[in-house]
């Protein structure tokens, strides 16, 4: 590992000037590899201050936001690009909240849930719809879009098509490239991730790699206790 790009959904969240500044100081004192920090979104005023610290991007977890709030977030980022030195790069976790909510509630009605149900609760369609939305919002607000941990073959097609007319990049994880959701039957909840492993027919594959590909491990460490608390435990 030669480079780490830290995510802002930590405790505390990195969505204020002070929290971002504190993380920079920690990184400078401890990191033995190259590191960059992403900023979380907050008020336009607070984001203007964070730009002074040169975060590599602003990160948006689209599965945690409504359509209305996403419109506002991307609009604020567009304004930020116009009025500050913000580089215009927004990194996104693409899953659509409404689809996840509906599918999860449906699956919870089963008499007994299996680990693989987690992948059906967050289906590839939720990623596809979210990627489509992110591309539209980034284009509308003149932003550079980076799609984190892209895992759906349809989403990859959407991203490739969009990249011909606007700045869009994406990354793959080793687990999404090498495994599909049948692995839940072997490893259970130990392999829960967001987005989850896809059904084989909808997943990305090693063959999708080319000379422009980016691979990021997307580390999100959890304890063994956390990983065995059940299908629906966050």
N-to-C CA span, the chain: 27
Kindly report the backbone phi and psi dihedral angles of residue 61, in degrees, each rounded to the nearest multiple of 5, phi listed first.
-90, 95
CB of 36 within 8 A of CB of 7? no
Residues with a known catalytic role: 218
């Amino acid at each position: 590992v030669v480079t780490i790009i830290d995510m802002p959904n930590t405790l505390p969240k990195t969505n204020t000037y002070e929290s971002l500044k504190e993380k920079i100081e920690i990184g400078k004192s401890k990191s033995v590899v190259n590191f960059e920090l992403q900023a979380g979104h907050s008020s336009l005023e607070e984001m203007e201050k964070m730009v002074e610290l040169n975060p590599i991007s602003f990160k948006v977890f689209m599965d945690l936001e409504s359509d209305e709030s996403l419109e506002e977030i991307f609009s604020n980022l567009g304004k930020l690009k116009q009025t500050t030195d913000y580089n215009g790069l927004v990194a996104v976790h693409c899953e659509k909240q409404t689809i996840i909510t509906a599918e999860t509630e449906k699956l919870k009605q089963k008499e007994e849930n299996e680990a693989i149900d987690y992948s059906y609760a967050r289906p590839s369609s939720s990623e596809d719809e979210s990627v489509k939305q992110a591309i539209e919002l980034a284009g509308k607000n003149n932003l550079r879009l980076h799609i984190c941990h892209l895992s759906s073959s349809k989403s990859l097609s959407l991203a490739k098509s969009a990249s011909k007319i606007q700045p869009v990049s994406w990354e793959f994880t080793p687990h999404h490239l090498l495994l599909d959701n049948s692995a839940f039957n072997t490893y259970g909840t130990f392999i829960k991730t967001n987005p989850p492993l896809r059904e084989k027919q909808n997943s990305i594959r090693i063959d999708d790699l080319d000379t422009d590909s980016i691979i990021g491990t997307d580390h999100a460490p959890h304890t063994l206790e956390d990983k065995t608390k059940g299908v629906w435990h966050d």
